Structure 1
Amino acid sequence: MNERSLTLTPEAPDRRGRILQVAGRLFSQKGYHGSSMRELASALGLTQSSLYNHVANKEELLLAIVDGVADEFLVTLEPVVRSAASPTAKLRSAVRVHLQIIAEHLETATVFLHEWKFLSATYRARVESKRGRYEALWREIIAEGVERGDFRPLKIEFTARWILSTLNWTYQWYSPQGALTAEEIADRYLDLFLHGLLKS
């Protein structure tokens, strides 16, 4: 894949962002395999041949979207984990920023969470590596909480995956016009993560 093929003409930053935005919307609504470059070109007001002046193929768009969201998750969580805050405060921040990314970038986050598996093996491995690094940051928060005695002696990997699975499923039902904001959803999740269902 030519990494320069998304480097566009003088209006490149805006045009590139627009292409990825519309591709994200299309992929999130119709799925990667259900979307065509012809549909994308039409949605952008371009001819198909003009679109290919900016991007080599459909997979390149998928990789750019997925890579971008993966990087956003990593860049946002790393300072939380490295901070001097308590494990509980880190967990609260981690949940909030994770849901904030999903809420603010719902279409591309949907592609990241659901369509990434359609990448070819080489690019899928690249994304899996980033996803693994991201999960490791969550394990660090939980392990620190267990070590300090703030959290019960939980199975670290299981707990991290449970929390992430819960958060990641939010894209399936969250709506910006819904009854709850992303922050309110985060607070409800945190109440369950930290206190469970039983009365204290």
Structure 2
Amino acid sequence: MPDSPTKPRREQIHDVASRLFSERGYHATSMRELAGELGMQGGSLYAHINGKEDLLVQIVNRASQQFDEALFPLRGQNLPADDKLREAMHRHIMVVADNMDSATVFFHEWKHLSPEAYARVTGWRDTIDRFYRELVSEGIQSGVFRPDLDVKMTSLLILSTVNWTYTWFRPEGTLTPRDIADGFAEMILSGLRAR
């Protein structure tokens, strides 16, 4: 059954689909199972969505929007590069931690999208990669980070660190998203900072 009957039906569908796609995988989840979890008849789902792939696209789009809204406002903030990178990592991990099911779908199930939707996701991924490359370049230019850093490799390391949090983070665990972000950031920054 849906978590909150007070949510609009479309949001309930997204929440339950995110959970099922996360737990079972996109292909292993049928529309009948989704309808059953929602206490609906199978055909009733189509009054709210166009189909299973449409639902996957909506979940992926919503997740990408959450990352954009969390990260991109940092571009205009006047912070030292190391503080900005630490805050970016915290915000990135918070989006994952607050949306574990949809983050899992976003990072793991997007490969099942049709070519057009797949291209949009890879386009978004390139935008986020550019964002982290900008942060690293800014740190190099300001003298906070080492001048010999490979910007591409450094941004890939940071992205790999924050993106894969969905595979092991547990909200009921002893570490908060801030603890994780601070720990990761300190380890990474110790290798980036200019001596």
Instruction: Return the alpha-carbon distance in structure 2 between the equivalents of residues 52 and 145 of structure 1.
Output: 49
Which residues in structure 2 correspond to 1:1-200 (within 5 Å)?
14-153=8-147, 154-196=149-191
Count of aligned positions:
186
Secondary structure, aligned partner of 2:88: helix
Give the Å deviation of 1:166: 1.2
**CA RMSD after TM alignment:** 1.5
Runs of 5+ unmatched residues, structure 1: 1-10
Instruction: Return the alpha-carbon distance in structure 2 between the equivalents of residues 82 and 140 of structure 1.
Output: 12
Instruction: Return the alpha-carbon distance in structure 2 between the equivalents of residues 170 and 84 of structure 1.
Output: 27
Secondary structure, aligned partner of 2:174: coil
Secondary structure, aligned partner of 2:8: helix
TM-score by length of 2: 0.92
Q: Which letter maps to 2:183?
A: R
Runs of 4+ off more than 4 Å:
none
Give the Å deviation of 1:148: 1.1
Runs of 5+ unmatched residues, structure 2: none
Q: Deviations over 1:144-193 (max 9, x none)?
A: 00111110121111111111111111111110111211111111101111
Task: Provide the identity percentage.
Answer: 44
TM-score by length of 1: 0.89
